[in-house]
Amino acid sequence: MIKHPKSLHKTIASIAVVLLLAGCQSMGMGVDPSKISAVSTLPAPADREWPDQKQDVLNQRARVELGLIRSPELEGYLNVLYSKIKKQAGFPNWQGKVYIVANSNLTAYATAAGNIYISPSWISTAQSEDEIVAILSHEFGHVYLHYHELEKTKVTADQAADWITLGAAIAQNTNALNGWPVADLFATGYGASRDIAVGHYGSSQELAADKFALNLTTKMGYSYDSGVKAYLEHQATWEDVNEARQKAYEDKLSESFTGLGTLASLKISQGWKFVTSDHPKTIDRMDAVAIAADDVPPKLLGKKPVVKPFNSVRNSGAVSSMLKSFGFAMKGLENPNAIDAYDNAKKSAGGANAKYAYSAIAVFKTQLASILNGNAANANGLGRGLDLNINSEPDRAWKVYVTKADFFARMGQVPAAKTVMDQGFAYFNSAGEAWPEAILFYGQYESWDKAKKMAATCAKEFPGLAKACKTAAITPAEKAEMDRRAQENANRLVNKLMKKDK
């Protein structure tokens, strides 16, 4: 019989969260966000060990679904701006460059290596150099504020929690705590608490990065109005667009009985995402920045934006061509089964753009969909774009290898699939993000023993990916057993609750 099971559960969950928070404190976690103001001298940044810059780029080429886009002219322009930002902050020699990430969303992010990744959508959306500098300054703010220490702390706390979970499960030697294994309960409790703690910390960092951007950009002579304010307003509009899209989807779901079930799950998930979000609402950020901007000298607030050099780069041949090509590829990927999807995707593959992963994958997916929809005449040259990407070493994306290997395997050509995977993994194996998909592939098409050995190596080399690698190495039989147990636990819990109600 278990004594005080609930207090045990609470205790161990609390221990893990304390570990996480203690980790945050003991590791310094960079600059205190509350010390960032719009006009003051910036507090000194924390000392750090810089991760390898080139490895970081390879990591992104493995991580991002459609890879990176090499655009020397655009990157050159952005890197001149980034250098000015670093100089203004007092650290002109800090490492880090700007890269273009093939994501159709409005997105930009920074890594601990000091690199900033920005999507073509931001390049197309921004209205001035002021806005681009503000976005880059916001991201540089995360580097300066040492946001990435949080990641290390999370991994450390997760590992500690794993040990506590294991210890608790052994100590209890039981499979029932209100109908649910103690380890599962603890994992749920820890995971929930961790996500809330991390979300809260992330939110404060976003507000600090906005103020950091306001501080730097106005000192550099850029406008608040066309800079920080503009990017927040663009972001707010984009969120409104997506809320409207989401509402339309939910309205459609509510029209059917099965849809209502999906809608209920969705609402629970959305509620949880809201609680654990690492970004405050954009409107709150806009308000916070508007209030902070009161401290900025009025002459700097509404300065005339710098438009000409930005438009000159954006409208230049290669950059303009890439942006249009990206647009066609995204149009194709929106719905690969649409009647004009393949035609749109093909338009993305003109000239030098054909080697980019976004174009190669868009053409492949839409072409395959077209063939499967009965247009056998479109079969010619299937996968040619994938080869173009693979043969262009600096443009290679991990997902291209995965797509090609998966296609061969599904066609029953397992040796050819393995050759592709071997080549891809040989190139990308120093990037942890490549491991889960490689493990799954080798498990499915070579042996699960190999997959499990790879998962153990992955956990050792890339602790942050341990869970994903472990999951990828689960055999179909193990998965079936886990599903059966989960169902059994759920049934037991329901029965218990039903009895209690009676």
What part of residues 82-111 is at the interface with another protein (CB under 8 A)? Answer: 102-111
Residue 439 in contact with another protein, rule: CB under 8 A? no
Q: What is the dihedral of CA 480, 485, 486, 492, to 10 degrees?
A: 150
Residue 173 C-beta: closest distance to another protein, Å: 31
Residue 166 C-beta: closest distance to another protein, Å: 20
| Residue choice 194, 234, 404, 452 for contact with another protein (CB under 8 A) | 234
Q: Is 49 left (phi over 0), alpha (psi -120 to 50) or beta?
A: beta
| Residue choice 211, 229, 346, 396 for contact with another protein (CB under 8 A) | 229
Residue 468 in contact with another protein, rule: CB under 8 A? yes
SS3 per-residue string spanning 190-210: HHHHHHHHHHHHHHHHHHHHH
On whether the CB atoms of residues 461 and 446 are closer than 8 A, the answer is: no
Site mask, another protein, residues 28-67, x = CB under 8 A?
----------------------------x--x---x-xx-
Q: Which pair of structure tokens corresponds to residue 246? A: 């989401």
Residue 323 in contact with another protein, rule: CB under 8 A? yes
Residue 355 in contact with another protein, rule: CB under 8 A? no
Dihedral sign, CA of 87, 88, 90, 94? negative
On whether the CB atoms of residues 231 and 134 are closer than 8 A, the answer is: yes
Mark the segment that binds another protein (CB under 8 A) among 8-16, 89-97, 124-132, 408-416. 124-132
Using the minimum distance from each CB to another protein, give the nearer residue, 304 or 450: 304
| Residue choice 5, 43, 45, 202 for contact with another protein (CB under 8 A) | 202
Residue 129 in contact with another protein, rule: CB under 8 A? no
Q: Please state, as a whole number, how many other Cβ atoms lie within 10 Å of the Cβ of residue 148.
A: 19
Q: Exposed, middle or buried: residue 160 (CB in 10 Å: 0-12, 13-18, 19+)?
A: middle
Helix (H, G, I), strand (E, B) or coil at 369: helix
Residue 334 C-beta: closest distance to another protein, Å: 4
| Residue choice 36, 57, 135, 368 for contact with another protein (CB under 8 A) | 135
Residue 390 C-beta: closest distance to another protein, Å: 19
On whether the CB atoms of residues 208 and 33 are closer than 8 A, the answer is: yes
Residue 410 C-beta: closest distance to another protein, Å: 21
Using the minimum distance from each CB to another protein, give the nearer residue, 106 or 388: 106
Helix (H, G, I), strand (E, B) or coil at 76: helix
On whether the CB atoms of residues 129 and 222 are closer than 8 A, the answer is: yes
- In the range 244-303, which residues lie near another protein by CB under 8 A? 244-246, 270, 273, 277-279, 282-283, 286-288, 290-291, 293, 301-303
Site mask, another protein, residues 150-179, x = CB under 8 A?
-x---x------------------------
Single out the residue of 36, 71, 58, 343 nearest to residue 207, CA to CA.
36
